[in-house]
């Protein structure tokens, strides 16, 4: 880290930036006699995050004096349940007189000229994640449970709630109640004697109960900040609504395959569930294979299959890579070298087209680096109501460019170019959830309809400036690469995506934008917002 990058000018991070504004309201959070409602909970939580009680003491101490402040390092980061991202920064040559601590929580925009500190933090964060994984392996829980969602979700949620990542996971620990998908008559007891923050969430659309008591680091510049008053929540029973029923079904379906949770959220109006969903008949299908009424077995002989004894680490030896002959440094010059479609962290190389993943004909297992789209999704998502384009999908965690998010699922039906019932196709909205499988062959025979069966991806809206794209991926459901090709559709992030950002794809990636006005048929396409 250079001195220059570390130097922080007084006008870059001002005292009022790192310190919450003082209001008498913040300082006085009255103990509630009844359970707070959602809106009250949001307010209380915000107050907790921005409590100013101790900050006035800080000002009196005049602990931030005129002068430059240098970032020593970033020691933590966190996204609270309101979606606010903050970094915990350790400062050089500054500490609190009161307790000797030298960190404050700052917003990303306040961290200017801190590229090196940020880069170092990124590496450190990755190191912690790897360490955490090792710890979890030692708990005796199968790694698959961690890798495939359950623990990831647990930690992500802790992070989102601002609890940090220092929770030790032990086999006998109490699981948060939201991992229990029964969704009914939950009892959340909060001991009044517990010393730390208590957050109960039935807020911001998180439609399950989660109560947790534990010591936690301050979210405020003052290390001693604590919620002004603890909340006493004795008992809560969840009223069964269409939403809780649908949520329970989705939870059960995602849990069954070890995928991260998809939460239904509506902060816009009273609609409980998307009107396109028939509660009685809709089937949530996270991974597939595609649903099909008839008998359509796939032909495994379509695949080469591999016998790699090095865990498929060398693309030159893995015959599944036959199709992948490009030079990643210059796409126009195929070298004949084989390269994996994914890097060693499972990130899709965005200059790639379709992908053949290792499969049932191969000797490797799900940990193979060439099996990515077929793994259960580990990114927690929300299906949320928008004011102007129906329901949509957003992430609750940071997503890195190249991250594979999951696959499209639904009913396998004849394509519009195939034998699809022409009359049915004319019905209004008949193609609303339809994805044509025409990647390799325009005279294709199949499409996937997610109207009555599907997953989170059926809610992805269109944008001419998308942050996600679709690629064809082969690992099952294939007869051949011609008319009977029934490949899978993988979703991949085409850039880094911040938490609470809507995920969007371009429905017609190969067509040119309209000359003027709207770029597509969707009036609310974000390109012109
Ligand atoms: C696959 S669905 C997406 C989920 C849908 N919004 C819902 O509420 O179920 C496709 C439909 O969403 C709507 N849609 C998608 N992108 C849109 C956009 N950018 N603006 C407005 N409506 C959009 C259109 O009605 C489209 O037919």
Mind listing the pLDDT tens digit for each residue in 246-286? 999 999 999 888 889 999 999 899 999 999 999 999 999 99
The answer to whether residue 33 is domain-embedded is no
Higher confidence at residue 308 or residue 32? 308
pLDDT at 432 > cutoff 70:
yes
Q: Is 409 in the pocket of ligand 1 (CB under 6 A)?
A: no
Q: Is 458 in the pocket of ligand 1 (CB under 6 A)?
A: yes
Which runs of E-coded beta strand occur in 6-79? 70-79
The average pLDDT across 79-92 equals 71
pLDDT bin (cut points 50, 70, 90) of residue 95 is confident
pLDDT at 440 > cutoff 80:
no
Chain-wide mean pLDDT for the chain?
66
Number of domains present in the structure of the chain: 2
Higher confidence at residue 65 or residue 393? 393
Name the residue of 389, 409, 457, 528 whose CB sits within 8 Å of the most ligand 1 atoms, as the mutation to test its pocket.
389
Residue 513: strand, helix, or coil: coil
Decide which of 62, 86, 112 is a domain's last residue.
112
**Atom 23, ligand 1: residue with shortest CA distance:** 389
CA geometry: angle 167, 172, 177, nearest 5 deg: 70
The answer to whether residue 509 is domain-embedded is yes
Which pLDDT does position 407 carry in this prediction?
A: 97
Rounded to the nearest angstrom, the distance between the alpha carbon of 461 and the centre of ligand 1 is: 5
Please give the structure tokens belonging to residue 185: 């008559």
pLDDT bin (cut points 50, 70, 90) of residue 419 is low
Which strand (E) or helix (H) includes residue 129?
A: helix 115-138
Decide which of 54, 85, 112 is a domain's last residue.
112
pLDDT at 200 > cutoff 90:
no
Q: Is 8 in the pocket of ligand 1 (CB under 6 A)?
A: no
Q: Is 240 in the pocket of ligand 1 (CB under 6 A)?
A: no
Whether the predicted interface score ipTM is above 0.90? yes
Which pLDDT does position 64 carry in this prediction?
A: 56
Q: How far is CA 187 from CA 32, 210, 345, in A?
A: 18, 10, 40
**Atom 12, ligand 1: residue with shortest CA distance:** 461
Query: What range does the domain containing 87 cover?
Result: 71-112
Decide which of 112, 131, 163 is a domain's last residue.
112
The average pLDDT across 16-24 equals 29
pLDDT at 47 > cutoff 80:
no
- Other beta carbons within 10 Å of 421: 11
Enumerate residues 6+ apart whose C-beta is below 8 A from 471.
Answer: 348, 352, 353, 354, 355, 489, 490, 492
Verify that 108 and 247 share a domain, yes or no: no
Verify that 364 and 510 share a domain, yes or no: yes
CATH of the domain at 376: 2.170.270.10
The answer to whether residue 267 is domain-embedded is yes
Verify that 427 and 288 share a domain, yes or no: yes
The answer to whether residue 183 is domain-embedded is no
Confirm if 379 and 394 have CB atoms less than 8 A apart.
no
**Atom 10, ligand 1: residue with shortest CA distance:** 432
Which pLDDT does position 346 carry in this prediction?
A: 87
Rounded to the nearest angstrom, the distance between the alpha carbon of 410 and the centre of ligand 1 is: 17
Q: What is the pLDDT of residues 323-359, one digit of tens each?
A: 444 444 555 555 566 778 888 788 998 777 788 888 8
Tell me which DSSP letter residue 144 carries: H
Higher confidence at residue 251 or residue 141? 251
């Amino acid at each position: 880290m250079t001195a220059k990058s570390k130097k922080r000018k007084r006008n870059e991070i001002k005292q009022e930036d790192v310190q919450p504004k003082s209001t008498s309201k913040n300082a006085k959070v009255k103990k509630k006699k009844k359970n707070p409602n959602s809106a009250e909970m949001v307010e209380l939580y915000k107050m907790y995050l921005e409590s100013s009680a101790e900050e006035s003491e800080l000002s009196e101490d005049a602990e931030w004096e005129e002068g430059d402040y240098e970032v020593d390092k970033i020691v933590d980061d966190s996204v609270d349940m309101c979606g606010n991202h903050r970094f915990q920064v350790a400062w050089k040559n500054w500490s609190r007189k009161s307790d000797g601590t030298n960190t404050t929580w700052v917003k990303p925009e306040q961290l200017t000229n801190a590229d090196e500190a940020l880069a170092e933090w990124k590496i450190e964060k990755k190191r912690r994640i790897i360490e955490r994984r090792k710890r979890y392996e030692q708990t005796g829980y199968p790694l698959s449970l961690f890798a495939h969602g359950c623990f990831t979700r647990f930690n992500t949620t802790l992070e989102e709630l601002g609890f940090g990542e220092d929770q030790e996971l032990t086999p006998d620990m109490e699981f948060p109640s939201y991992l229990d998908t029964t969704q009914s008559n939950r009892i959340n007891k909060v001991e009044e004697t517990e010393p730390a923050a208590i957050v109960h969430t039935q807020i911001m659309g998180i439609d399950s109960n989660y109560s947790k008591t534990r010591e936690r680091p301050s979210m405020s510049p003052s290390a001693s900040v604590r919620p002004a008053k603890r909340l006493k929540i004795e008992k809560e029973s969840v009223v069964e609504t269409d939403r809780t029923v649908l949520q329970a079904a989705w939870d059960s379906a995602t849990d069954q395959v070890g995928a991260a949770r998809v939460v239904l959220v509506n902060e816009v109006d009273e609609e409980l569930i998307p009107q396109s969903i028939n509660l009685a008949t809709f089937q949530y299908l996270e991974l597939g294979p595609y649903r099909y009424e008839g008998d359509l077995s796939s032909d495994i002989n379509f695949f080469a299959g591999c016998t790699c004894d090095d865990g498929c680490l060398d693309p030159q030896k893995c015959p599944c890579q036959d199709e992948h002959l490009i030079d990643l440094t210059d796409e126009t010059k195929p070298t004949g070298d084989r390269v994996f479609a994914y890097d060693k962290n499972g990130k899709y190389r965005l200059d790639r087209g379709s992908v053949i993943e290792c499969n049932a004909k191969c000797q490797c297992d799900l940990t193979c680096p060439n099996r990515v789209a077929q793994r259960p999704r580990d990114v927690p998502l929300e299906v949320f109501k928008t004011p102007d384009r129906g329901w949509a999908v957003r992430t609750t965690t940071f997503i890195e460019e190249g991250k594979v998010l999951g696959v499209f699922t639904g009913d396998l039906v004849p394509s519009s170019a195939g034998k699809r019932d022409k009359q049915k196709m004319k019905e209004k909205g008949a193609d609303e959830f339809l994805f044509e499988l025409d990647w390799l062959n325009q005279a294709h025979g199949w499409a996937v309809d997610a109207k009555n069966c599907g997953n989170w991806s059926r809610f992805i809206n269109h944008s001419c400036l998308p942050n996600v794209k679709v690629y064809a991926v082969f690992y099952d459901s294939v007869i051949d690469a011609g008319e009977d090709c029934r490949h899978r559709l993988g979703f991949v992030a085409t850039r880094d995506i911040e938490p609470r950002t809507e995920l969007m794809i371009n429905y017609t990636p190969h067509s040119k934008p309209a000359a003027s006005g709207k770029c597509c048929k969707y009036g609310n396409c974000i390109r012109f917002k």
